[in-house]
Amino acid sequence: MINSKIKIFLASKSPRRRKLLKQLNLNFRSFSVDINEIVKRKEKPSSAVLRLSKEKLELAKEKNLEGIIITADTIVVLDSKILGKPKDKKDAFRILKMLSGRTHTVYTGYSIFNSENTRTISEYETTKVTFRKLTDEEILEYIAGGSPMDKAGAYGIQDDFGAVFIKKINGCYYNVVGLPLAKLYHALLRIL
């Protein structure tokens, strides 16, 4: 178990990540850090999520907080192409149409810093997700609900309706939501 006296900070504006950390029964505070989340040309997805989580961590460390800081970044990759958050409804439709009937990979990188021993852990996880064939009507209905607009790959596996897009997953479900919980929990135990 993680010592409940240690302060934990989640540097993320994602409500999904906050909900996931609550599942671990961790007492934490959250705040957001804003960086330019652009993937560099020819950068590997694993390198990108690690770099972005580290950049977020460096910004979060400027707050001089005492305890543990957690940052993360998630991207969706199809055919070596990174699919970010949609720019608008038309872009969300384009992305979901590309994912329809295909398998893509979700990468989440996270960084953890313990101010007491100055240790840092940065790791990533991958999960393969296969969509069933989607109809245009299903995609439009999902977009009309507003759900895809703040999510990499334009969908949320945890969404009521987004969940029915998934034919199968290979790997950590929680990674697709935004944090690989089991791996993160063991990293927290190692950093104490």
In this structure, the number of other CB atoms found within 10 A of the CB of residue 119 comes to 13
- For residue 112, name the pLDDT band (cuts at 50, 70, 90): very high
The residues that are catalytic are 73
User: What H or E segment, with its residue span, contains residue 79?
Assistant: none
In this structure, the number of other CB atoms found within 10 A of the CB of residue 130 comes to 15
Return d(Cα 173, Cα 160) in angstroms, integer: 15
Q: Is the pLDDT of residue 75 over 80?
A: yes
Q: Exposed e or buried b for every residue in 49-67, given b needs 16+ CB within 10 A?
A: bbbbbbbbbeebbeeebee
Decide if 10 contacts 34 (C-beta within 8 A). no
Decide if 9 contacts 60 (C-beta within 8 A). yes
Q: Is the pLDDT of residue 106 over 90?
A: yes
Over residues 140-177, the pLDDT tens digits come to 999 998 888 888 899 989 877 888 899 999 999 999 99
**Strands 166-170 and 28-31, sheet pairing:** unpaired
**Three-state SS for 191?**
helix
Return d(Cα 52, Cα 29) in angstroms, integer: 21
Over residues 79-100, the pLDDT tens digits come to 999 998 899 999 999 999 999 9
Give the number of C-alpha atoms closer than 13 A to the C-alpha of residue 49, restricted to the C-beta side.
Answer: 26
pLDDT over 70, % of the chain: 99
Mean per-residue pLDDT, 53-61: 97
Q: What pLDDT is recorded for position 146? A: 86
Alpha helices in 4-132, H assignment, sequence order: 15-23, 45-61, 89-99
**Strands 68-78 and 166-170, sheet pairing:** unpaired
In this structure, the number of other CB atoms found within 10 A of the CB of residue 106 comes to 26
Q: What pLDDT is recorded for position 188? A: 95
Over residues 4-53, the pLDDT tens digits come to 788 999 999 889 999 999 999 888 999 999 888 888 888 999 999 999 99
